[in-house]
């Protein structure tokens, strides 16, 4: 097959995979719903390659994500709904409409002003789609978003109309309040109520991060990486001493954990 770098070739590959005769049985069985988790996974793999600055991997991951778009478009086309050209047309039209300062005569002073204009245009579009239906400031925040991301988006929407803490200190007090409520439920041994309070605490932590101008997703990813790095170092140290994690006591693991933390602190300060 020639011209591997053309989008038309990718569309042909997708059509071949979904062909009733001679296609791939697995690909033919897929639906929007069964493919959706793979789409989300590929988006995260793109983000992971970017975070690690693995540009060779990023090239491949972007291709995998593009393939997901083509897959969904092919399923839609088979159902008589829309095809890949319609997807392209829709996004091009949207980008032109939302950038009148580039494709029209409007002017914006800076990136912040453009963000405000962008959100205003999105609000007008949501209003047009809603028609006679009762509208909400929270319309358009996708339910399927990861909970951490959705919490931040909901909070930002509410903040636009002034429903927000005045600063990060107010949000911090809310975190403390929610922490106390978690403690109370731990003592009550009510798993349902505890889940509810833990959710409130996590939501409050997202609020704190947002008002402190810290991206909560980035902060948590950093914490995950730090935990993994320290755990692996602790694991390796115990292994060198002839001790597996199964054999080591909690006290031994804690001693090594603290040693790793101190070692990292010395390196950071050197």
CA–CA separation, 148 and 205 (whole Å):
10
pLDDT tens, per residue, the chain with 270 residues: 467 889 999 999 999 999 999 999 999 999 999 999 999 999 989 988 998 899 999 999 999 999 999 999 999 999 999 999 999 999 999 999 988 888 988 887 777 777 777 777 777 777 777 665 678 889 889 888 889 999 999 999 999 889 999 999 999 999 999 999 999 999 998 899 999 999 999 999 999 999 999 999 889 988 999 999 999 999 999 999 998 889 999 999 999 999 999 988 766 553
CA–CA separation, 197 and 185 (whole Å):
8
Task: Point out the domain boundary residue: 191, 214, 237.
Answer: 214
Q: Per the domain annotation, does 2 fall within a domain?
A: no
Tell me: do 170 and 236 sit in the same domain: no
Tokens of 53: 């600055």
The domain containing residue 119 runs over which residues? 110-135
**Alpha helices (H) in the chain, listed in sequence order:** 7-17, 25-29, 32-51, 55-78, 84-98, 100-103, 111-130, 147-160, 168-188, 191-211, 216-240, 250-269
Q: Quick one: CA dihedral 136, 142, 145, 149, positive or negative?
A: negative
Q: Per the domain annotation, does 246 fall within a domain?
A: yes
Tell me: do 121 and 195 sit in the same domain: no
Tell me: do 12 and 94 sit in the same domain: yes
Structurally, the chain folds into a number of domains equal to 4
Q: Per the domain annotation, does 103 fall within a domain?
A: no
Tell me: do 151 and 173 sit in the same domain: yes
Task: Point out the domain boundary residue: 214, 237, 254.
Answer: 214
Q: Per the domain annotation, does 61 fall within a domain?
A: yes
Q: Per the domain annotation, does 1 fall within a domain?
A: no
Q: Per the domain annotation, does 73 fall within a domain?
A: yes
Residue 158 sits in a domain whose CATH number is 1.10.287.1080
Tell me: do 82 and 117 sit in the same domain: no
Contact criterion met (CB below 8 Å) for 182 and 201: yes
Q: Per the domain annotation, does 28 fall within a domain?
A: yes
Tell me: do 82 and 115 sit in the same domain: no
Tell me: do 169 and 145 sit in the same domain: yes
Task: Point out the domain boundary residue: 189, 214, 239.
Answer: 214
Tell me: do 21 and 73 sit in the same domain: yes
Q: Per the domain annotation, does 258 fall within a domain?
A: yes
Tokens of 220: 């948590």
């Amino acid at each position: 097959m020639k011209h591997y770098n053309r989008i038309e070739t990718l569309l042909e590959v997708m059509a071949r995979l979904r062909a009733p005769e001679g296609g791939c049985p697995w690909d033919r069985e897929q639906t929007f719903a069964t493919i959706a988790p793979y789409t989300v996974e590929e988006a995260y793999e793109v983000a992971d390659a970017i975070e690690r600055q693995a540009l060779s991997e990023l090239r491949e991951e972007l291709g995998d994500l593009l393939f997901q778009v083509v897959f969904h478009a092919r399923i839609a086309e088979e159902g008589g709904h829309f095809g890949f050209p319609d997807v392209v047309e829709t996004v091009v039209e949207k980008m032109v409409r939302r950038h009148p300062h580039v494709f029209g005569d409007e002017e914006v002073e800076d990136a912040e002003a453009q963000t405000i204009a962008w959100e205003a245009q999105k609000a007008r579009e949501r209003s047009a789609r809603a028609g006679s239906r009762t509208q909400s400031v929270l319309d358009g925040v996708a339910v399927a978003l990861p909970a951490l991301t959705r919490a931040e988006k909901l909070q930002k929407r509410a903040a636009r109309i002034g429903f927000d803490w005045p600063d990060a200190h107010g949000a911090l007090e809310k975190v403390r309040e929610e922490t106390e409520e978690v403690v109370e439920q731990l003592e009550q041994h009510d798993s349902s109520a505890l889940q509810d309070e833990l959710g409130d605490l996590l939501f409050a932590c997202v609020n704190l991060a947002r008002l402190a101008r810290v991206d909560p997703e980035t902060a948590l990813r950093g914490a995950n990486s730090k935990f993994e790095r320290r755990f692996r170092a602790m694991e390796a140290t115990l292994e060198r001493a002839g001790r597996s994690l199964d054999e080591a006591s909690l006290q031994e693991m804690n001693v090594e954990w603290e040693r790793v933390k101190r070692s990292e602190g010395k390196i950071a300060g050197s």
